[in-house]
């Protein structure tokens, strides 16, 4: 019997699920159908329980109307939280593929992990901080009368809960990423910090299961099921992160293990417009060595180009905006990765040219070292 294998399209993207609802600051926003369940549950909970208790003797239609409005604002609060992550990532020149809102809240799909622990820390912490800001804002508005005040008080509580929950040190929650950033900063190894934070995430999932069991035996069946689902999600993602962090290179491995070969040499007289068209459009996160009369004279990245108004790109030459030789280290093929990273840190740059003797052989960037050690 012949076997037929179903192949995924070459452009298949598993993060592009749900309905596309638009863009914010260039970031695509999608809504997973499972979010409708959360919206319905929030509306029902408020209309049938919270609002009648807070503001009795009001027309029932208003309970449902304000419950639906609160559910919509709650979803927008989740989007606000994820946009905080996304905007901080964009500030650090890390592309954001999209934001997807789903059953468990939302996630900002960032194209890659940060290359520095400080960047990881601020990208992770800004989400909970943004939720805390909303909690304080809605808390102040909670002094308003009747249903408006009751909805604002509920939104204050739910945003505070969202901030506290995300600060739990269970990778890949925001608190787990903050923990990884701290471990990475003090330990110096991205992979080791990921393994440690992932183990804490697995332990946190176990605690959620224990808490779910306590809820179950006390009659809170729905809440128990909810915590079991969260525990399963947390454990599976933490375990995947742990497995992906295994292996890697020792810090004493030679630099040629992560070298980028066949890097084009840029003429210092090349207009910026041609540089962008030929190279940066295809590799916006890379750096290129700049040569003049066969000698290395500098290095150019998208950051230097973007400081020049776009209308001037046809007139301005690479040599006018490039990083000069004294702004970055010159690395050598056989030096240890640890030494190379230390030199990148000393110059506060993410890229450097690599030589074998007096011969240019390629480029290395911080990400190549960080992700592999």
| Per-residue model confidence (pLDDT) at position 310 | 93
CATH number of the domain residue 301 falls in = 3.10.580.10
pLDDT of 214 > 60? The answer is yes
Beta-carbon-side half-sphere exposure of residue 195 (alpha carbons within 13 Å): 12
Total domains in the fold of the chain: 2
Q: Which domain holds residue 87?
A: 19-244
| Per-residue model confidence (pLDDT) at position 13 | 60
What average pLDDT does the segment 306-315 reach?
93
351: buried, middle or exposed (CB in 10 Å: 19+, 13-18, 0-12)? buried
Reported as a pLDDT band with limits 50, 70 and 90, residue 117 is very high
What average pLDDT does the segment 294-305 reach?
94
Which of 244, 274, 307 is a domain's end point?
244
pLDDT of 94 > 70? The answer is yes
Do 347 and 308 share a structural domain? yes
Residue 107 · residue 86 · CB < 8 Å: no
Chain mean pLDDT for the chain = 88
pLDDT of 163 > 90? The answer is yes
Which helix (H) or strand (E) is 179 found in, with range? helix 174-187
Reported as a pLDDT band with limits 50, 70 and 90, residue 34 is confident
**Is the pTM for the entire model greater than 0.85?**
no
* Residue 296 belongs to a domain: yes
What average pLDDT does the segment 156-167 reach?
92
* Residue 2 belongs to a domain: no
**Which of 30-44, 216-230, 289-303 is least confident?**
216-230
Which of 206, 225, 244 is a domain's end point?
244
Which helix (H) or strand (E) is 65 found in, with range? helix 60-91
The answer for residues whose C-beta is within 8 angstroms of residue 159's C-beta and 6 or more apart is 77, 131, 132, 134, 135, 138
Do 224 and 78 share a structural domain? yes
Do 229 and 90 share a structural domain? yes
**Which of 7-16, 129-138, 289-298 is least confident?**
7-16
* Residue 4 belongs to a domain: no
* Residue 13 belongs to a domain: no
Structure tokens at 274: 């041609």
Do 234 and 119 share a structural domain? yes
pLDDT greater at residue 215 or residue 196: 196
Read off the DSSP letter of residue 5.
P
Residue in 118, 225, 234, 100 with CA at minimum distance from that of residue 165: 234
* Residue 353 belongs to a domain: yes
| Per-residue model confidence (pLDDT) at position 14 | 61
Do 143 and 110 share a structural domain? yes
* Residue 119 belongs to a domain: yes
Do 213 and 273 share a structural domain? no
pLDDT in tens, 80-93: 999 999 999 999 98
Residue in 201, 202, 191, 198 with CA at minimum distance from that of residue 117: 191
Do 232 and 302 share a structural domain? no
| Per-residue model confidence (pLDDT) at position 263 | 92
Do 190 and 322 share a structural domain? no
Beta-carbon-side half-sphere exposure of residue 170 (alpha carbons within 13 Å): 21
pLDDT of 78 > 80? The answer is yes
Residue 134 · residue 91 · CB < 8 Å: no
Residue in 39, 86, 81 with CA at minimum distance from that of residue 64: 39
Binding site residue list for Zn(2+): 81, 85, 174
* Residue 96 belongs to a domain: yes
d(CA 308, CA 320): 10
pLDDT in tens, 321-341: 999 999 999 999 989 999 999
Do 141 and 32 share a structural domain? yes
Question: Terminal CA-to-CA distance of the chain, rounded, Å?
Answer: 47
What average pLDDT does the segment 145-171 reach?
91
Active-site positions read: 82
pLDDT of 15 > 70? The answer is no
pLDDT in tens, 352-364: 999 998 899 999 9
């Amino acid at each position: 019997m012949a076997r037929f294998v179903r192949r995924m399209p070459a452009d298949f993207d598993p993060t592009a699920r749900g309905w596309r609802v638009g863009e914010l600051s260039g970031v695509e926003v999608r809504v997973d159908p499972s979010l409708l369940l959360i919206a319905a549950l929030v509306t029902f909970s408020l209309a049938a329980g919270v609002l009648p208790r807070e503001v009795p003797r009001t027309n029932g239609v208003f309970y449902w109307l304000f419950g639906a409005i609160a559910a919509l604002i709650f979803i927008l609060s989740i989007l606000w939280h994820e946009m905080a992550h996304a905007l901080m990532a964009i500030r650090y020149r890390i592309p954001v593929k999209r934001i997807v809102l789903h059953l468990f809240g939302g996630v900002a799909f960032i194209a890659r992990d940060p290359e520095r622990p400080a960047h990881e820390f601020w990208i992770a912490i800004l989400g909970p901080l943004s939720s805390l800001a909303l909690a304080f804002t809605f808390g102040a508005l909670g002094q308003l009368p009747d249903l408006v005040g009751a909805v604002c008080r509920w939104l204050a509580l739910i945003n505070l809960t969202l901030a506290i929950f995300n600060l739990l040190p269970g990778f890949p929650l925001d608190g787990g990423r903050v923990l990884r950033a701290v471990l990475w900063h003090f330990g110096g190894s991205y992979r080791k910090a990921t393994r440690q934070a992932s183990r804490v995430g697995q332990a946190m999932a176990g605690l959620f299961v224990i808490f779910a069991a306590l809820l179950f035996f006390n009659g809170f069946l729905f809440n128990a099921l909810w915590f079991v689902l969260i525990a399963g999600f947390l454990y599976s993602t933490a375990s995947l992160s742990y497995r992906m962090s295994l292996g890697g290179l020792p810090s004493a491995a030679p630099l040629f293990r992560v070298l980028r070969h066949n890097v084009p040499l840029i003429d210092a007289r090349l207009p910026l417009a041609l540089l962008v068209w030929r190279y940066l459009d295809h590799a916006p996160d890379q750096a290129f060595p700049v040569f003049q009369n066969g000698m290395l004279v500098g290095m150019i990245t998208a950051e230097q180009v973007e400081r020049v108004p776009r209308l001037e790109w046809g007139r301005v030459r690479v040599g006018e905006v490039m990083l000069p030789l004294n702004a970055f280290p010159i690395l050598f093929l056989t030096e240890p990765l640890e030494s190379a990273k230390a030199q990148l840190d000393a110059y506060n740059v993410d890229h450097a040219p690599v030589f074998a003797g007096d011969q240019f052989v390629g480029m290395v960037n911080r990400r190549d070292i960080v992700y592999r050690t």
